[in-house]
Amino acid sequence: MQWVEAISGVRVLEAAGSRAIDVRGVQYDSRRVTAGDVFVAMKGGSSDGNRFIDTAMRQGAAAIITDSAETFAALRERQPELAVALVEHGRRALAEVSAAVFGRPEQTLKLSAVTGTNGKTTTAFLLEQMLRSVGRKSVLMGTIETHIGDQVRESEHTTPESRDVLAVFAEGVRAGCTEVVMEMSSHALEQERVWGLPVDVAIFTNLTQDHLDYHGTMEAYFQAKARIFAGVGALPPRVAVINLDSEYGDEMCHEFRGATLMTYGMGEFGNYRAENVSLALGDTRFDFVTPEGRIAMHSPLSGRVNVENLLAASCAALARGLTLEQVAHAAEMLHQVPGRFQVVPGSKAAGFFVVVDYAHTDDALRNLIALARESVVGHGGRAITLFGCGGDRDKTKRPKMGRAAGEDSDLVVVTSDNPRSEEPMTIINEALLGVRETQTTFIVEEDRRAAIEVAIRSAKPGDIVLLAGKGHEKVQIFADGTVPFDDVAEAERVLRELKVEVSK
């Protein structure tokens, strides 16, 4: 591709240097540059890509896009033949040039995007499974995994930079995919990492306190999420799917600028509702009531929160052209998402359940404990909840998480969860402020490995042990580095020590 063609859709303030340049790729990380790439040097929250232009050029960069007027002037003076373009918005330029270089795959694929505090990952997984059930080949991009048709790989970020998103989209097109299901985080929407992506169906699950270390206020957090419904450098979505059971559902409806609004809920609100709900572990049933009719739904998922996730996915599937009958048939075959109410193999043989879940907000903890109680805690059974709070994150939610853990648990084990640069016991003591308000018995064990053992060895027949906060994650992050850590593997180790046969 020629340089002039690559930047034809970029909002360029000024361009200089040679125009007859062949462009082979695009990068924003100088370490990944190879010969013939365009290097996009952009200012970020904690670093400035303009500092790494010389490195990119030594690696073979053929052209430079910069959002720094000073850098642009210096490059023109120093290397007048170098192809260089000055832009106002580096991230937008990255998206625009990447779309061109990768052959505009976003125009071929139909994109369904999910945003919200809780439920994004599960809703995205369920929707992809529904699309697959009718023979559609999809790309899935989210917190846990990236799927390109049948290919599965681990995800590094919930929503990557636009260049990496479009690279995956391009792989999807080559693999014959026609759909994309994607999580859109508030950070990605705020930072415009999804600039120019034409969303067909946008889904809002809920909004509860999280990420205030970044957004500052709930209003700013809401406004970041709301950008999905107005379009980020693209037209508004064709369809919005919005949860009216969420406190912010009505407000989010007002932010939608597209044509078709689908609202859902488990009560009297929403055009698409769940009625006659029956819940058991691995057996969820309800009537799906829609403007097009009513149909019985049966799913192997567990709990009220998964009814909401299934409603969201079902509405989006209908918006993408599935029939009510196809949605109901797909619901019967759904698989649980890794790290979301994941029952540890072999725990039932011990007479109690051990469950790993990603819950890392007070709202998610309440939902998790409620799900545990409605699913398996019977006469005499107890809910034992292990949790921690992340370091270098919103400190105000720590006592709230402690209160949520203690309110309906019989025993709480407070431990570490990615303390990062903070002292683990400082974080634990802040969480304990909320636990103590509930008068619930608690145990403090800073070491998460030992804490998991304490929680499981405290269980008796009929109990459920909830290991909350990390879910699918495979590492623990400390001030001095990252170490491998897997809640499921640790739970299996303890069960083996208890002479429980752990089946795979």
Residues comprising the binding site?
30, 116-122, 158-159, 185, 191, 193, 393, 417-420, 469, 473
The fold for domain 105-331 equals UDP-N-acetylmuramoyl-L-alanine:D-glutamate ligase (3.40.1190)
Residues comprising the binding site for ATP?
116-122
- The angle subtended at Cα 491 by Cα 459 and Cα 403, nearest 5°, is 60
The CATH architecture annotation of domain 3-101 reads 3-Layer(aba) Sandwich (3.40)
pLDDT at position 492: 95
Q: What are phi and psi of 240, to 5 degrees?
A: -115, 135
pLDDT at position 14: 96
pLDDT at position 208: 84
Q: Which of 388, 376, 385 is nearest to 406 (CA)?
A: 385
**Is-contact 416 434, C-beta < 8 A?**
no
Residues comprising the binding site for meso-2,6-diaminopimelate?
393, 417-420, 469, 473
pLDDT at position 502: 60
Q: Determine the distance from the C-alpha atom of residue 68 to the mean position of all C-alpha atoms in its chain, rounded to a whole number.
A: 32
Write the single-letter amino acid at 81: E
pLDDT at position 503: 53
Domain ranges for the chain, please list them.
3-101, 105-331, 342-497
Query: Is the sign of the CA dihedral 143, 149, 154, 157 positive or negative?
Result: negative
Rounded Cα distance between 133 and 18, Å, is: 51
The CATH architecture annotation of domain 342-497 reads Alpha-Beta Complex (3.90)
Residues of the chain with pLDDT under 50: none
pLDDT digits (tens, 9 = 90+) for 137-195: 999 998 889 999 999 998 877 788 999 999 999 999 999 999 999 999 988 999 999 99
**Is-contact 341 355, C-beta < 8 A?**
yes
pLDDT at position 298: 97
For every residue of 434-482, which 3-state class applies, written as one string? HHHHCCCCEEECCCHHHHHHHHHHCCCCCCEEEEECCCCCCEEEECCEE
pLDDT at position 267: 79
